[in-house]
Each structure stands twice: as structure tokens, then as C-alpha cells.
Amino acid sequence: MDNYQATFEAYDKLAAAYQDKFMDLDLYNDTYDSFCQLLDKPQATIFEIGCGPGNITKYLLAKRPDFKIEAIDIAPNMIELAQRNNPTAKFEVLDARHIGNLNRRYDGIMIGFCMPYLSKQDCAKLIKDCNGLLQTGGILYFSCIEGDYEKSNVETSSDGKHRIMVYYYEAEYLLSTLFSNEFELIELFRKPYQKSNGTIDTHLIFIAKKMDA
């Protein structure tokens, strides 16, 4: 089993615990607010990638009940929880690495916390695929953990039972990848996040706009 498969099988098993820990986390609310404000079109269509138990979906719909949200996650147990938490949104099981096969267009794409589990190659492909799924002027939101990619490593889940591959990214690399895929940076946030072992990570949050071709 490769690291990617092991990571997502772990999150499928940890879905309920993840929901308990993150459903009401308010650390990123101001960044979600910025995303909502940029999508001032009534009934804007949103595609969420790696939705987990639907915690971000729930926040977005509380702020903007008019949003039309479709969301995916690779973990069936996460999708089940997300649908229960957000009965008006649409959810499906889908690997983030395969969104390039979709024939859809959206006003906004939300990637809350998927990139820490994607390799540099998969991350670059995801940003490229998002360009293909967004309307011109569409808004892309994604977050990751700041750090030296070469120091990416396997970490143990908080319950000590699962090993999860976590990738770190430098802001310069992601900015370059955005620009090469015709995105304009709107905002870049840095958020300190204390992990269960007491160490602190810096989370990067990017909000970008798809430029005219």
C-alpha cells in the first residue's frame, strides 16, 4: 500500500474523530469570510475538494445559504458525515487527483485541507485542474502547511493507531504554480496551528482568481 492510500484509509477510519475535533474550529473563519465576499454573485456555484465531514461547507452555507455547493472526498465515511451535516449540499466520493475528468464549471473552488496529503506533482496537477473547472474570474481557495518540501514525512495520528504522510510546501513554489496556471493572488494568510503534540505548524491559506485567458 502506498503512502497516499494509507493516508486516506486512515482518514476514512478517523472520520468521526475528525468531525469531533474540527467541526467547530474557528481558526480559519476570517479566511472563509474573504472567500465568501469575493463571490458576490447570487447563487454562486462552489466545488469543495476534500470536504471531510462538511465543516467548511456548513460554515459557508451559514454565511451564504444561496451558495450551490458540490463537494467531494475520497473517504466514504467522511462523505456520509458531510451529507448528514449539510443535507442541502451535494456530496460524492471522488479522489482529488481525478477531478480533471469532470466536465463542469464553478464560480469558486474550496480546498480546505487536502494539499498536505498530496505530493508536489499531485499538488501542481490539482491547481492546473482547478483552472479548468473555474469560470473566468472564479475564486480558488486552498491551504497547506508551510515548510521545506524535502522534510515532508510520515506522522502518527493523534490516537497513535495510524501513520499519515504529510507534505510541506514553501509559499514561493505555490505562488509560482498559481501564476503559471493563470491565477492572480488575491490574499495570502499565515495561521499558527498548535498540534496535539504541542508543536506549532504555520498554515498557509491562498485565495486566488482565475485570470482571463
Please determine, for residue 5, whether its predicted confidence score (pLDDT) is greater than 80.
Answer: no
Please determine, for residue 182, whether its predicted confidence score (pLDDT) is greater than 70.
Answer: yes
Between residues 38 and 25, which one has the greater pLDDT?
A: 38
Give the pLDDT of residue 74: 92
The 10 Å Cβ neighbour count of residue 13 is 16
Mean pLDDT value of segment 141-168: 87
Please determine, for residue 84, whether its predicted confidence score (pLDDT) is greater than 60.
Answer: yes
Please determine, for residue 155, whether its predicted confidence score (pLDDT) is greater than 90.
Answer: no
**Can you give the pTM of this predicted structure?**
0.93
Mean pLDDT over each residue of the chain, to the nearest integer? 92
Please determine, for residue 26, whether its predicted confidence score (pLDDT) is greater than 80.
Answer: yes
Domain 3-210 has CATH 1.10.10.10: no
Give the pLDDT of residue 34: 98
Give the pLDDT of residue 212: 80
Mean pLDDT value of segment 17-30: 80
Please determine, for residue 16, whether its predicted confidence score (pLDDT) is greater than 80.
Answer: no
Mean pLDDT value of segment 12-18: 74
Give the pLDDT of residue 157: 66
Q: What is the pLDDT of residues 56-77, one digit of tens each?
A: 999 999 999 999 999 999 999 9
Q: Residues of the chain with pLDDT > 70: what percent? A: 94
Question: DSSP labels for the chain?
Answer: --HHHHHHHHHHHTHHHHHHHHTT--TTHHHHHHHHHH--STT-EEEEES-TTSHHHHHHHHH-TT-EEEEEES-HHHHHHHHHH-TTSEEEE--GGGGGG----EEEEEESS-GGGS-HHHHHHHHHHHHHHEEEEEEEEEEEEBS-GGG-EEEE-TTSS-EEEE--B-HHHHHHHHHHTTEEEEEEEEEEEE-TTS-EEEEEEEEEEEPP-
Mean pLDDT value of segment 179-197: 93
